[in-house]
Structure 1
Amino acid sequence: MKTKKIRKIILIVVAAVVGLILAVVIAAAIIWRHEIGSIASIKKVVDAKGDNNSGPVYMMDVKGDYYFDKFIKEGGVSNDQELINFIVDNITKGILPISIKAPTIGCSSFTAQDADGDRYFGRNYDFSTTTAMIVKTDPGHGRYASISSVDLQFLGIKDGAELDGMMQKLICLAAPFVPLDGINEKGVSCGIYMSYQGPEGEVVATNQTSDKPDITSTTMLRMILDYASSVDEAVELVQKYDLHDSAGTSFHYMVADSTGRSAILEWVAKDDDSDTDGSARELKVYYNDDDAALGTYEERNDFQYVTNFIVTPDYYSNEESMKGYDRYQAIEKAINPDGSNVNGVVTADEAMDVLKMVGRRKWDKEQGKSDSNSITVWSALYNLTDRTVTWVSNEEYGNSDAIFKLGF
């Protein structure tokens, strides 16, 4: 009799424990359902290649809204640590610490159009061997779907590491908060470019301190991708915030839309030598149809282009301080060689050839240069009319396995 009673008690306890475990598993599945779906979608699409010094490339299809509405409603953040705290509290549910670091990068972009009127936004991301990710989002709730490019080094995944552990994949849940370029379903595209502002050898981050809400460099791009349906809407959004550049460095930005309108956004003080106070900088916006102040070529051309120096007039005392000025000139000359192609009419292949021309492996070799940004990690040609992107990994323009055509 006692044996039966003990057995019954054991069965009850086992059933209770199993029930508790199931309840915990179900609760976790409900709480983490979007995160679990996002992690499950991660796939490697390009292998690392030692002979090309290239890291791997991954894709991720983000599920859910990644709490960006909440991020905006709470007034954004004013520094990387606040952003980390928000991500850890909301996305990784407090169980996984992350870090956000901005490497020293060098990049190029331009706008153009083809004979049929399709509008393009081209972008090279230049760095060194690193792990890249193409991130798809579709948050709903009035926000726009987007495709963006992320360097996972910004999240602490260094030196072209593989995502072969669950902890690394969990870190990738923060990827929507660190886009470096992208396009949304409305045909708005944007990019971020290091600007090296400050006296020689010293880079000073923008750090505005008015009573506006706050936003950091990459979260500003996420805001544009999620909420802006035109360049004008993007600029209106940005003007509402104090900008705080990430990781103690400085950036400027370009945004374009399917109507052919584009703009370069810079936060500047008087000049490079005296630009040592990030809180004193003010936003300057240069539109493609109103940028005569930038120079003769900029005035005549309806297309825009940007590299890694501030385009604001009289900011520099000499050209040697203008990083990427050689690529800037080369892009203009490639698109409008004789001064007659002021509208920047090219074919899609010709636009990609411009990105190929200033790809850093080829460019640095031809120019006899070498620095920490000697690799173009990706080239992205966004068609703002079709809402598509042709994305090329690590300058492999002739390798179909390294080229992706994506859309909505």
Structure 2
Amino acid sequence: MKKVLKIVLFSILGLVVVAGVLMWLEFGPLVKGAMSAEKIDDGLYYMEYKGDDGFDELMKQGGAKDATEISTYIISFLSKGHYKPEIKPAKTDFGCSALTVTTPEGGVLMGRNFDFPSAVGVVLHTIPDKGYETITTFNVEFFGFGDDYKPEGFKNQYLAQASLFCALDGINEKGLAIADLMAGDEVETHQNTNKPNLTTSAAICYLLKNAANVAEALELLKGIDIHSDIGSAHHYAMADATGRSVVVEYVDNKMVVTESPEVANHYLCEEKLNVGLKEGDDRYDRLCQRYDQTGGVMSEQQLTDAIADVSQPERKGFLGTAWTMVMNLKNPSVTYYSRRHFDKPLRFELTRK
């Protein structure tokens, strides 16, 4: 009897161990990613993820053309198909600004402000099994996980890894930097040419994962159908380690590329030049003045001062600048400043550069 019981218990233990190993193989990277979350300043959190980022499978399935489709895929990835909760992505708009310069030593820097009525930012450092290492940022309030959601506590930290598929800005190990900004009107882009679909924010993750420079990013954009997030027009600010900086806009569902180191929240392409430029908004002009005064050559501190100068203070119903980034494209790294705390730099480096 004792011998039989012993055999049964060891068999059960073996099954438990095997089940545990299989469970860890399936969920281990996500569990480790969730456990890495930490608050680094008011309204800003940092996480690291290493493993299969799920993006290749998303593209094999044809991508996602709207918030509902991308949300469905995200939950499937995070739960490995075991759970399907309801997500109600937020719909709103935001302002921003960006500037790319060279340094006296020949480096390349890109600064960027993300301005919004309300935000909880997650800085996600991703080292995927396939593709380039990236550091990206996303306002996780956009996911609609609930009022007062913050990536604190294991459940909420786990959910924050939805940012693997959505980014508002970021940099990769090759020194490609991309930021999403509102373009100036509410004309949505919805390309329907039977190519894989991606929303504006998902495309940033895709480009940073697969493109080494601006030229490669533009080629990748030609191979997908872009769909506007949050019911508004968007444009991308892109720059790379060669110093090339462009603004990518969409007019009548066609991509238009304008070479420019400065960008804010109005169109820069000839087809819609200055559409969306509001009276009294001089952020773009101030960036141009700073650039012209230095001939486009600035130290990191000078760029930080320039981008801080056009950051927006908090006012009633508007948080202002949620985060500021200063990205080094020749030596891929990024310094964050949360909520205009310019005396508190938060620096992160890409390890595979």
> Does TM-score exceed 0.5, indicating one fold?
yes
* Selected match of 1:108 from 97, 101, 119: 97
Unpaired runs of 5+ residues, structure 2, are none
SS of residue paired to 1:397: coil
Q: Classify 1:242/1:314 alpha carbon distance in 2 versus 1 (closer, same or farther; 3 Å).
A: closer
The equivalent residue for 2:247 is 264
Distance of 1:312 and 1:372 partners within structure 2: 31
**CA deviation profile, 1:332-364 (whole Å, cap 9, x unmatched):** 112224xxx44x111111100011101101xx7
The equivalent residue for 1:90 is 77
Return the structure number with greater strand share: 2
Shift of residue 233, structure 1, vs aligned partner: 0.5
**CA deviation profile, 1:276-298 (whole Å, cap 9, x unmatched):** xxxxx21111124xxxxxxxxxx
**CA deviation profile, 1:60-110 (whole Å, cap 9, x unmatched):** 111202111222233211122211222222232232534433542111001
* Selected match of 2:115 from 103, 122, 126: 126
Distance of 2:322 and 2:151 partners within structure 1: 17
* Selected match of 1:65 from 52, 56, 76: 52
Shift of residue 31, structure 1, vs aligned partner: 1.0
Shift of residue 175, structure 1, vs aligned partner: 0.9
Q: Which moved more, 1:12-21 or 1:241-250?
A: 12-21
Structure 1 position 395 matched with structure 2 position 336: no
On the 8 A contact 2:183/2:233 being kept in 1, the answer is yes
Q: Which moved more, 1:7-16 or 1:81-90?
A: 7-16
The equivalent residue for 2:258 is 286
Q: Classify 1:164/1:83 alpha carbon distance in 2 versus 1 (closer, same or farther; 3 Å).
A: same
The equivalent residue for 1:168 is 156
Structure 1 position 346 matched with structure 2 position 298: yes
Structure 1 position 243 matched with structure 2 position 226: yes
On the 8 A contact 1:245/1:251 being kept in 2, the answer is yes
**Equivalent residues in 2 for 1:6-405, closer than 5 Å:** 18-46=13-41, 48=42, 55=43, 57-94=44-81, 95=83, 97=85, 98-141=87-130, 143-157=131-145, 161-197=149-185, 203-269=186-252, 281-288=253-260, 304-313=261-270, 315=272, 322=278, 325-337=281-293, 341-342=294-295, 344-361=296-313, 373-399=318-344, 402-405=345-348
On the 8 A contact 1:131/1:158 being kept in 2, the answer is no
Q: Classify 1:185/1:160 alpha carbon distance in 2 versus 1 (closer, same or farther; 3 Å).
A: farther
Unpaired runs of 5+ residues, structure 1, are 49-54, 198-202, 270-280, 289-303, 365-369
SS of residue paired to 1:186: coil
**CA deviation profile, 1:177-227 (whole Å, cap 9, x unmatched):** 111111111111000012242xxxxx3421111222211111111111111
Distance of 2:164 and 2:333 partners within structure 1: 19
Q: Classify 1:245/1:161 alpha carbon distance in 2 versus 1 (closer, same or farther; 3 Å).
A: same
Q: Which amino acid aligns with 2:249?
A: E
The equivalent residue for 1:406 is 349
Distance of 1:42 and 1:321 partners within structure 2: 38
On the 8 A contact 1:392/1:404 being kept in 2, the answer is no
Which structure has more relative contact order (CA 8 Å, sep 6+)? It is: 2
TM-score by length of 2: 0.90
SS of residue paired to 2:270: coil
CA RMSD of aligned residues (A): 2.5
Distance of 2:279 and 2:175 partners within structure 1: 30
Q: Which moved more, 1:65-74 or 1:155-164?
A: 155-164
Q: Which moved more, 1:71-80 or 1:187-196?
A: 71-80
SS of residue paired to 1:115: coil
On the 8 A contact 2:135/2:172 being kept in 1, the answer is yes
SS of residue paired to 1:134: strand
Distance of 1:23 and 1:255 partners within structure 2: 47
Shift of residue 19, structure 1, vs aligned partner: 4.7
Distance of 1:90 and 1:238 partners within structure 2: 24
Identity of aligned residues (%): 28
Matched length: 349
Distance of 1:204 and 1:216 partners within structure 2: 15
Shift of residue 323, structure 1, vs aligned partner: 7.9
On the 8 A contact 2:52/2:129 being kept in 1, the answer is yes
Distance of 2:123 and 2:348 partners within structure 1: 12
